[in-house]
Structure 1
Amino acid sequence: MQALSSRPPQDYVGRFAPSPTGPLHQGSLVAALASYLDARAHGGRWLVRIEDLDAPRVVDGADRVILGQLQALGLAWDGEVLRQSSRHHAYREAFDRLRRQGAVYACGCTRKEIADSILHARGYLPAGELPYPGTCRDGLHGRPARAWRLRVPQGRVRVVDRWMGPVEQDVAAEVGDFVLFRADGMWAYQLAVVVDDAAQGVTDVVRGEDLLGSTPRQKILQDMLELPAPRWMHVPVVVNAEGQKLSKQTGAAAIDVRQPLAALEAAWRHLQFEPLQAGEVSAFLAEAVRRWARRWRIGTG
């Protein structure tokens, strides 16, 4: 399959794409379950992709643990599992295409230099992600390249999310030219996910709300690479008692696969459904698919 297929979406193809930095926790199960239910409710395929590009954070054997957890929870995927670590050639192809368009440039800025530039220009640092001020757009001025960035076009990017509704962002102003490739050889998530979704024919992306902010950047890349954009659905994330997103970094516990129904029921309730009483995993998932289809009016014309 070509890395940069531009064919229009055909039948429904969804995917779940965990990073192998540890076992699945309840927060990641919410995204997995929503993605699985949406695919099955559409009568489509559900793929699993291991996003293991960030080698320093990858935990040895975590991919096998994750796949075992999905199997224990009855979340059976279709086809082979794709691993991003085997896809460097595809990311290079996309990168080179953008570079030929004049859309990529080298950047020598450190994070501290970016923060200092923003502080000098604004008098304060905005909360969250720091927008790149374009320091190296006109050249490195003798400094070594630390990364390569995309020249973000001006204008607001609009996407329609199936859960959140219309979303708009001025990426040039709020994010700036974002990184595609680092000098240490690491490809950026934004580029890799766009290339892989196109290569796998993904028509629908169902994932956590924490990734909603990445969507306009991915839409820009899809447009520039002439790739089809999937439909998006971003579901609410699970937070801990302190209001932090549940994650491995905040000490989220691994799913107890000895009690798969309890884990599935908790994820189901977080997706704002009424409790679903079932005696076994297969019965739970079959009824959950029916209710998901009814809520989102899938197959009703």
Structure 2
Amino acid sequence: MNRNIRLNTQDIESIKKLAREERFKLGFSEDPPIANDIKTILDKLGIILLEIPIEAEREKPAFSAVILCSDEGGERLVFIGLNTADYVDKQIFAIAHELYHYFTKTGSHLSRQNEPEDDVVEAKANLFSAEFLLPENTLKRQVFEEFKSYSLETVQRKVLLRFIARLHCTWWLPYRSLVKRLWEIKAITETQYHELYALYERDPDGEYGRIGQSTQRDVFLALNTITRTVGASPRAIETILRNFEDDLIDEDTFVNLLRQFNQSPADYGYEISIPQDNMHDFIEGWNHDD
């Protein structure tokens, strides 16, 4: 949640209630981490995930995720486009952020990387994302079980970093989101918040990077990886296949759509020959994509 935007108590409690209810509907209590199941959750909700890397241009940040809603033939289709030119933990947070817009039916929405929250809706969506992935009650319990206190004011910096690294590797929230969460529940002071938030957490040879790797090396490195994945949920690919089989799209469109996700008709048992006249354009398309 943006510290410059103060949500009132009613808003905060409403968001916590929404996150708790949606977790329960999906079969999760407050205790288990669910970040690893985030794509399965999208499948359960019937949301089509499209993954594509979009690099930032100059001073303009790329989008982190976008949710698009449309009604076609009486059927409501919901897509989440995810920018995979970002760290894995931030990709997960971005999906959960868009789920707020899905659950509250605020319509199509685009979020940008590192974009300051300049409205209440974005602050609510970020709080929902954090609460959905790591409920406040669970975080408070983790703090108390570890330190026998709800306050970490007297805890040394290195001890705090080790604790945050364990939370990071278990719940898969980004480091800075965890620091904000600890500040929001008043576990750390204003001074501690600024000190921890100022740390650059992505340097593998930095203080936090070394601590994280000594905690759960494989998980920590995976969360700090920029994947640049290109892909789509099985439902998206199935939609493309059905549209081709029902003659709603032609062969060229079929080939081009699958190519966007590094797939081909042959992967699904279709042998489609590309006319010699189109071969040059086809190859040029691949070269342009690279």
TM-score, normalised via structure 2 length: 0.27
The one of the two structures with greater contact order (alpha-carbon pairs below 8 A, sep at least 6) is 1
